[in-house]
Amino acid sequence: MSCWETIADYGLRSIGIGERVLPREGYTLCQQFTLIGSGMIWNIYFGVLALCSGFFLATAVALGKASKNPVLQKASTWFIFLFRGSPLFIQFFFAYFLFLSLKPLSPIFDPFTSAWLGALIVLFLNTAAYSGEIFYGALQSVPRGDMEAADAYGMSGWSRFKRVTWPTMLRLAWPAYTNEAIFLFHATTLVYFSGFPAWQQRGDALYYASFFADKTFNPFIPYPILAFYFILLTLCIISLFGLINRRLNRHLPQESRAKMKLKLNIIR
Amino acid sequence: MFSFCVDPASLGDFAWMACYLTTGKHMAIYTSVFTVLLLLAITAPTALAFGFLGASSARSHFAPLSWFGKAYIAIVRGVPDIAFFLFFVIALDQLFEWIRHEIKCPDWEADIWQGNDFVVCDIAKLPLGNSPQWVHETYGFLLAVLTFAIVFGAFAANVLYGAMRAVPHNQLETAESYGMTRRQVFWRILVPQMWVFALPGLSNLWMVLIKATPLLFLLGVEDIVYWARELGGAKTARFTDYPHGDWRMWYFFGLLVFYLLFTRVSEIVLDKVMQKLTHGQATLGGEAQRKAA
């Protein structure tokens, strides 16, 4: 079987298109590359959707934590503490079993026990908490002069937020937020190891990598392939976020622009 | 455990719960909390040592050593860490068995990679096939500790490398102008001063390490996650004196609370330490303390 046939058979295996039976023997390099790459579809799905939806909740949480209303402030602080203070791995397990015990109550909860929705919700809340904290920090360091200038122009309320506070907050938070995005994508590999079942062996990249490592007793091929894919993904994220960073900073002179500097945040 | 636990079916709710939570199996989950603490106690210093080695070799003037150090630091940034966990546990196991195999069975002809199998001679197996259960468990735990130390060592190396570069360069130049050798500058000037700069990063790393401990489960150690799944599952009256439905949700809720408390306490303690260390330092934090006093 040539490599093109393998790609045609297994390229979309992780979303249920193509050959159903996973390879039983041989395990060629081509098969490993194709299947692990096909698993990346799920990593990208979880990462992109959680990031896009989490962004809005994160803004809301950051504003809540900075607000003067004690109820909002307490609620946001607790939300951030709950998701940043506990391991994501345990959050996945808890959410899965929570949805599992809600299932008998109503058929509405059926999709929640499968990974595509249940895990997505956990990732959404998790990234909202982490980025909420980042945005809150940025909100605290919005320069005083900017706000005074806005006041002087007669802006207030929504227009001041939309035109001054929010863009400045994003600009200041962006390097840290890029970092958060990278590690969110890394965190998506936990999904299929934490209770959520891989239905019909449709899993993410790490699921297939560990499948091959288990079958061949040779971890030196599948994991480096996985690493290759993730380094590629990380580079894509960095360049995409770099473009946005350029746009956010376009009004500033060259030397006072925020530099994209990657920091560690790692496991959640 | 208690004397009134003889016939659980006849007990009231509270007494039933007291008996249920003190069964032999539940003692196992309480001991596994100590497994987690033991892991932290061994891994933290080991990872710090690995990190120190990594950071100082990245600073080395001997090119291959410095490449090695930089690669060690860089490699963990682009790849999900749980991939490393899954990788190192198998890779280390095979490495140890292969070394023992080379030493103990030098006249072994066959290839150790036979198709999809990894085969070494019987006396090179780790642990030996006939050794008792606890040896297997301890070996598994030690592999896990080593894996954690390697991965977190890389993170620590990153933090320490940054801290070493944060020490003002003119301090080092002054030391050199006093005629100190590179070694002396490193040990007498750089190392004592870098800790203040490293502490925020290291305390962040400690929190991350705490939150990484449930991954022990993936490495095949019977830790709290393993026991929470075991004990929480639905039990019928045929197999146990304490039948109950699917309680896994509540067990994991317990774990969630445990980790929240653990990270909160660590946060408070580390804040105290940081306050102690910044006292009198010529940094922003130290300045703020001076003004407040």
Per-residue pLDDT, B200: 83
B14: its two tokens = 């509270």
Per-residue pLDDT, A262: 55
pLDDT at A129 over 90: yes
Per-residue pLDDT, A265: 47
Percent of chain B with pLDDT strictly greater than 70 = 93
Residue with the bigger pLDDT between B282 and A55: it is: A55
Q: Is the CB of A230 less than 8 angstroms away from the CB of B80?
A: yes
pLDDT in tens, A167-206: 999 999 998 898 889 889 989 999 998 888 888 888 899 9
CATH at residue B167: 1.10.3720.10
CB of A231 within 8 Å of any CB in chain B? yes
Q: Is the CB of B77 less than 8 angstroms away from the CB of A264?
A: yes
Of B82, B116, B208, the CB nearest to A206: B82
| Mean of pLDDT over chain B | 83
Bridge partner list, B113: B118
pLDDT at B260 over 70: yes
- φ and ψ of A13, to 5 deg: -55, -35
Give A267's contacts in chain B (Cβ within 8 Å): 81-82, 208, 211-212, 215
DSSP A193: G
Average of per-residue pLDDT across B58-78: 83
Bridge partner list, B114: B117
pLDDT at A268 over 60: no
Rounded CA-CA distance B130/A97 in Å is: 39
Bridge partner list, A160: none
B27: its two tokens = 């003692």
Of the residues A98, A204, A267, A268, the best mutation for testing chain B's interface (the one with the most B CB atoms within 10 Å of its CB) is A267
Q: Is the CB of B211 less than 8 angstroms away from the CB of A94?
A: no
Rounded CA-CA distance A120/A232 in Å is: 23
Of the residues B155, B231, B249, the best mutation for testing chain A's interface (the one with the most A CB atoms within 10 Å of its CB) is B249
Q: How many CB pairs under 8 A join A and B?
A: 126
CB of A197 within 8 Å of any CB in chain B? no
Residue with the bigger pLDDT between A7 and A84: it is: A84
Per-residue pLDDT, B221: 80
pLDDT in tens, B142-166: 888 888 888 889 888 988 988 888 8
Of B117, B212, B218, the CB nearest to A193: B218
Task: Please give the residue of chain B at the shortest CA–CA distance from A229.
Answer: B79
Per-residue pLDDT, A121: 95
Bridge partner list, B117: B114
A103: its two tokens = 């299932």
Q: Which of A85-89, B78-82, B112-116, B138-142 has the highest mean pLDDT?
A: A85-89
pLDDT at A49 over 90: yes
Give B118's contacts in chain A (Cβ within 8 Å): 217-218
Q: Is the CB of B249 less than 8 angstroms away from the CB of A90?
A: no
pLDDT at A153 over 90: yes
Nearest CA among A194, A191, A103 for reference residue B245: A103
Nearest CA among A115, A127, A111 for reference residue A39: A115
CB of A85 within 8 Å of any CB in chain B? yes
Give B260's contacts in chain A (Cβ within 8 Å): 81-82, 85-86
Q: Is the CB of B116 less than 8 angstroms away from the CB of A266?
A: no
CB of A111 within 8 Å of any CB in chain B? no
Rounded (10°) angle between helices A70-84 and B248-278: 100
Give B90's contacts in chain A (Cβ within 8 Å): 213, 217, 219
Nearest CA among B262, B266, B257, B274 for reference residue B198: B274
pLDDT at A46 over 80: yes
Of A210, A215, A217, the CB nearest to B86: A210
| Mean of pLDDT over chain A | 88
Lowest mean pLDDT: which of A22-26, A128-132, A256-260?
A256-260
Of A209, A230, A267, the CB nearest to B212: A267
pLDDT at B257 over 90: yes
Per-residue pLDDT, A80: 94
pTM: 0.86
Rounded CA-CA distance A113/A103 in Å is: 8
CB of A108 within 8 Å of any CB in chain B? no
Structural domain boundaries, residue B272 = 3-292
> B10: distance to nearest CA of chain A, Å?
27
Rounded CA-CA distance A47/B81 in Å is: 16
User: What share of residues in chain A are helix, strand, coil (percent, to 5)?
Assistant: 75, 0, 25
Average of per-residue pLDDT across B38-42: 90
pLDDT at A264 over 70: no
pLDDT in tens, B215-256: 888 887 888 888 888 888 888 777 777 778 888 889 999 999
| A4, A31 contact by CB (below 8 A) | no
pLDDT in tens, A202-225: 889 999 999 998 888 888 889 989
pLDDT at B32 over 80: yes
CA B21 distance to own-chain centroid? 28
Give Cα separations from A88 to A102, A193, B260 (angstroms). Answer: 21, 12, 12
Q: Is the CB of A230 less than 8 angstroms away from the CB of B86?
A: no
HSE-CB for B58 with a 13 A CA cutoff: 23
CB of A186 within 8 Å of any CB in chain B? yes
Percent of chain B with pLDDT strictly greater than 90 = 15
Q: Is the CB of B215 less than 8 angstroms away from the CB of A97?
A: no
Task: Please give the residue of chain B at the shortest CA–CA distance from A98.
Answer: B249
Bridge partner list, B118: B113
Of the residues A25, A90, A261, the best mutation for testing chain B's interface (the one with the most B CB atoms within 10 Å of its CB) is A90
Residue A13 has a CB neighbour count (10 Å cut-off) of: 24
Per-residue pLDDT, A44: 95
- pLDDT category of residue B114 using cuts at 50, 70 and 90: low
Q: Is A119 exposed, middle or buried (0-12, 13-18, 19+ CB in 10 A)?
A: buried
| B247, B230 contact by CB (below 8 A) | no
Task: Please give the residue of chain A at the shortest CA–CA distance from B89.
Answer: A219
Domains recognised in chain A with CATH numbers: 3-256 (1.10.3720.10)
Lowest mean pLDDT: which of A138-147, A204-213, B279-288?
B279-288
Contacts with A133 (C-beta within 8 Å, 6 or more apart), sequence order: A62, A80, A84
ipTM of predicted complex: 0.86
Per-residue pLDDT, B293: 73
Average of per-residue pLDDT across B193-203: 84
Average of per-residue pLDDT across A232-256: 87
Give A91's contacts in chain B (Cβ within 8 Å): 256
How many domains does chain B contain in total? 1
Average of per-residue pLDDT across B49-60: 90
CB of A109 within 8 Å of any CB in chain B? no
CB of A138 within 8 Å of any CB in chain B? no
Q: Is B95 exposed, middle or buried (0-12, 13-18, 19+ CB in 10 A)?
A: exposed
Bridge partner list, A268: none
